Amino acid sequence: MKRFRAIFKKEFRQIRRDPLSLGLLIFVPVMLLVLYGYALSFDVKHIRVAVADYDQSAASRRLLDSLFRNPYFTRGPVLASQREADAVLQHGRARVVLVIPRGYEEALARGEEVAVQALVDAANANTASTAIGYLESVADRATRQAREDLKATLRPDATLPQVAPEPRLWFNPELKSATFLVPGLIGMIMMLSAVIATSLSIVREKERETMEQLRVSPVRPEELILGKTLPYVVIGLISMTLILVLAYLLFGVQVRGSYLLLSASTLLFLFAALGLGVFISSITRSQQVAFQAAILSSLLPSVILSGLIFPIHNMPYFIQGLTYLVIPRYFVATLRGIILKGAGLDVLWPQLAGLLALGVLFNLLAARNTRKAV
C-alpha cells in the first residue's frame, strides 16, 4: 500500500512538472467534444445560388421566393446573363447558377413543360447531389402551385404545366467521390508528414542533451530553423510529385490548372506547415509530447476544419472563425481549385495569402522560442 501511494504521488509530480502534458490531458477531450459536436454535420445547408432570370415575371419571382424560403439555399449574385456563370462558379461565389428562361410564365399558362437550367459546381460531389435533390423538390412545389392556379380555368383533358429542372454538373460531372476527396487527402497527408517530421527535430536535441552544445556554438536560431526545415522541403516536394502520380494512376485525377502555380502553392504550404512543426518542437521537451501535439494540430484540423469532408459554411460562425487558423483550409481549397477547376492566381490569391500569413506567424514564433532555447 505504501509503494502504491509513493508511485501515485510520484506520477502526479511528473504530470505537474510538464504543464503541456497536463493541458493535453485536460483540454483535448473538451476540445474534441466541441469540434465533433459542432463541426461534424452531414446536413448540407446554405447552398449559395446565383440567378439569371431572363423572364422577370411574377411566376419566376414566385419560383425564387419558394427557393430561398428554406434554409438549404441562400441568395447569391444576380447575373445579367448566363455568360457570367463561369466566373461565379470559378471564384466560389455560388455553388449553383439557376437560369430561368424567357417565356417561363407564358409556358406555364399554356400548360407546357418548362426547363429551368441549373449549373451546379460538382467539385464537391456530396453537396452537388444534395443540391440537385433540393432543386427537384422546389420544382415539384412550383409545378403543384402552377397546376392549382390553372385548375379552375382548364378543361378536364387539358395539358397541365410542369417545371422540370435541368442540372448541368461542372468540374466533376460523374459525381465521383474520389475526384472530390483526393485533393483534400493530399493536403491532409502532406500536413501530417510535414508537421510530425519537423516537430521532433529540435526536441530530439533536447532529449539527447545536445542542445547545450548549440548554446555555446555561434549558430543563430534562424540558421538552426532553416537547416532543419530545408531537407523536409525537398522531401515534401518529392512526396507531392509521387502523390499526384498515384492520384492520376489510381483515381484518374488530373491537374487541370497550372503546374507552376501548383508548385508555388506547395512551397507556401510547406513554409507554413514546417514552421508550425518547428514551433511545436521548440515549446515541447519530449518527443512523445511533441508527437501528440503534432497529431492534435495537424490530423484533427485537417479532417474536421479544413473543408476536406465537411463544408465550412455549414459550421457555426465561431467554428468558422477557428478555421482561419488552420493551414489545410487554404491548401485544400487551393488544390481543389487548381486540380479540379483549373483556377488561376486571380481566383486563388486569397488562399495563398492565408498560407503566407500563417507561415510568417508560425516561423516567427518558432524563431522566438528557438532563440530562448539556444
User: How confident is the model over 141-174, as pLDDT tens digits?
Assistant: 777 777 777 665 655 555 656 666 667 777 766 6
pTM: 0.69
Sign of torsion, CA 287 292 293 299?
positive
Q: How far apart are CA 55 and CA 105, in angstroms?
A: 7
Contact present, 152 and 292 (Cβ < 8 Å): no
Report the pLDDT value the prediction gives residue 338, as an integer from 0 to 100.
92
Report the pLDDT value the prediction gives residue 373, as an integer from 0 to 100.
52
Which band of pLDDT confidence, cut at 50, 70 and 90, is reported for residue 200?
confident
| Superfamily covering domain 47-170 | abc type-2 transporter like domain (3.40.1710.10)
- Give the bridge partners for 114, in sequence order: 163
The continuous run of DSSP H or E covering 139 comes out as helix 125-150
Helix (H, G, I), strand (E, B) or coil at 113: strand
Instruction: Concatenate the DSSP letters of all residues of 276-303 into one string.
Output: HHHHHHHH-SSHHHHHHHHHHHHHHHHH
**In whole numbers, what is the pLDDT of the chain averaged over residues?**
78
Q: What percent of the chain has pLDDT over 70?
A: 74
Instruction: Concatenate the DSSP letters of all residues of 308-341 into one string.
Output: SSS-GGGS-HHHHHHHTT-HHHHHHHHHHHHHTT
- Asked if the model's pLDDT at residue 359 lies above 80, the reply is yes
Of 29-43, 145-159, 231-245, 320-334, the one with minimum mean pLDDT is 29-43
- Asked if the model's pLDDT at residue 9 lies above 80, the reply is no
Which H, E and C letters describe 39-83, residue by residue? HCCCCCCCEEEEEEECCCCHHHHHHHHHHCCCCCEEEEEECCCHH
Report the pLDDT value the prediction gives residue 222, as an integer from 0 to 100.
66
Q: How far apart are CA 370 and CA 349, in angstroms?
A: 31
Of 67-71, 270-274, 334-338, the one with minimum mean pLDDT is 67-71
Residue 274 grid cell = 514546417
Q: Where are the domains of the chain?
A: 47-170, 177-373
